[in-house]
Structure 1
Amino acid sequence: MSNFLTEHLIHRDTDFMVIHKPAGLLTVPGKTADLQDCVINRLLKIEPKTLLIHRLDRDTSGILVFALTRQGQNRISRQFQERQTSKTYQALVAGILEGEGTVDVPVVYDPEHPPLHIADPAHNKPALTHWKATEHFEIQGQPVTRVALTPITGRSHQLRVHMQYLGHPIVGDTLYATPDQQKLMPRLCLHAEHLSFTHPETEQPVEFHCAVPF
């Protein structure tokens, strides 16, 4: 546990730190006793000044930013809220997806089937994702496509639902992919690869990359 920061640190300065979150680990604790192991609790044991800025789904890996000062938290959080950050994810999706495009369909919580979310064109909160196919290959004889995903909005499960909406669920997705698509990989193949924003102290652009593990 004490090596978590050492093993997963991408960047650290006075105001914030950037972590490589592994797949399968919550960002923040859940409601029950068995869901208390999470990134922020591990970090707080090592660095008590750790402050939350944003989250990744438990099964998503990649870049996660935590503040170390209130100023850092406020200024970086505001950039996330006002869509002033630049984020790129990589995913492996089922089937052959060609070219590039945009999904502009609201994503909302499905209260009848928790924790699922659904694409609901009638809803009034927008959800916008740009996608671009970058590679085609096979896993266990099944065609898959590597896709670069740029979320413009930040709805819960947005990328996962939008890929399902296109008919190409993310490989390994236990919520939105078919059983056969889930079995192609032992994890959700969604990774936060790139993030850039303005430094809260210097006001200069900063940029971070995290290598894709699949």
Structure 2
Amino acid sequence: MSDFVYAPPPDAPVILHQDEDVVFVDKPAGLLSVPGRGPDKADCMISRLARIYPDILLVHRLDLDTSGVMVFARTSAAQAHLGQQFEGRKTRKYYIARVAGHVDGTEGHVDLPLIVDWPNRPLQKVCHDTGRPAQTDWKLIRHEEGASRLRLTPLTGRSHQLRVHMLAIGHVILGDTLYATGDALGYPRLMLHAQSLRLKHPATGHSMTIAAPVPF
């Protein structure tokens, strides 16, 4: 990671839905959700959106290397309401991933507690003694050449949860520069995409699902 150079894609934000309370966007891989440390990492999703929506407020994040649906709030009330939905696990997120090898079976459940790997942070690791509970459901979409395409449903929201859980079951996500090795590294990006997000609109209470096309 010491050789990492932040070079986010220059494209304008792709707005999936916007109204007076919320903005849904399709975050590209390689763009930070929020500013990183140092002026070279100031460019990010929320700063780009702030040029269009000066009232934009953060609700949640996606990893730098993960693409897909994010929601932002435009009022403090909407931000609080959405934050409570995420904290209370009232939202439903579906991810698409390409992982190394052919998984056995058509679906499964991973229940492995996670904690930061302090000597190697920001990496996370499985730890049954001190880790925080983490659960992920997976479902096979299809086998591909030397790989499997899965739909992943995180039931908790731990850092790097999907990446570490897939590594732990022996099928690392392709293109993962933090956790993959060998041939699994030979991809132009992390093959993980937040395909859809379901939640209740903070003002109307109506359930809404916003999706973004899978780019791989």
Unpaired runs of 5+ residues, structure 1, are none
Bigger mean CA offset, 112-121 vs 19-28: 112-121
1:112 pairs with one of 107, 119, 130: 119
Structure 1 residues 81 and 195, CA gap change in structure 2 (3 angstroms): same
Aligned twin of 2:3:
none
Q: In the alignment, is residue 177 of structure 1 matched against residue 180 of structure 2?
A: yes
1:72 pairs with one of 73, 78, 82: 78
The aligned amino acid for 2:168 is: Y
Distance 2:207 2:133 in 1: 27
1:14-25 mapped onto 2 (5 Å cutoff): 14-25=20-31
Aligned twin of 1:123:
130
Aligned twin of 2:148:
145
Q: In the alignment, is residue 160 of structure 1 matched against residue 163 of structure 2?
A: yes
Secondary structure (helix, strand or coil) at the match of 1:74 reads helix
Per-residue CA deviations over 1:104-154 (Å, capped at 9, x if unaligned) read 01111111012111111222520000011111111xxxx000010000000
The aligned amino acid for 1:135 is: R
- Kindly state the Cα deviation for residue 45 of structure 1 after the two structures are TM-superposed: 1.9
Distance 1:166 1:190 in 2: 16
- Kindly state the Cα deviation for residue 2 of structure 1 after the two structures are TM-superposed: 9.9
Aligned twin of 1:193:
195
Q: In the alignment, is residue 83 of structure 1 matched against residue 89 of structure 2?
A: yes
Moved over 4 A (4+): none
Aligned twin of 2:12:
4
The aligned amino acid for 1:203 is: G
Secondary structure (helix, strand or coil) at the match of 1:162 reads helix
Aligned twin of 2:49:
43
1:94-113 mapped onto 2 (5 Å cutoff): 94-98=100-104, 99-113=106-120
Secondary structure (helix, strand or coil) at the match of 1:51 reads coil
Distance 1:104 1:43 in 2: 36
Distance 1:179 1:2 in 2: 30
Structure 1 residues 110 and 3, CA gap change in structure 2 (3 angstroms): closer
Unpaired runs of 5+ residues, structure 2, are 1-8
Distance 1:2 1:159 in 2: 27
Distance 1:162 1:2 in 2: 31
Aligned twin of 1:208:
210
- Tell me if structure 2 keeps the 8 A contact 1:2–1:46: no
**TM-score w.r.t. length of structure 2:** 0.93
Q: When the two structures are aligned, how many residues end up with a matched partner? A: 207
Secondary structure (helix, strand or coil) at the match of 1:201 reads coil
Distance 1:35 1:66 in 2: 20
Bigger mean CA offset, 11-20 vs 38-47: 38-47
- Tell me if structure 1 keeps the 8 A contact 2:114–2:131: no
Distance 2:18 2:52 in 1: 14
Distance 2:107 2:17 in 1: 32
The aligned amino acid for 2:30 is: G
Structure 1 residues 120 and 3, CA gap change in structure 2 (3 angstroms): closer
Secondary structure (helix, strand or coil) at the match of 1:112 reads helix
**TM-score w.r.t. length of structure 1:** 0.93
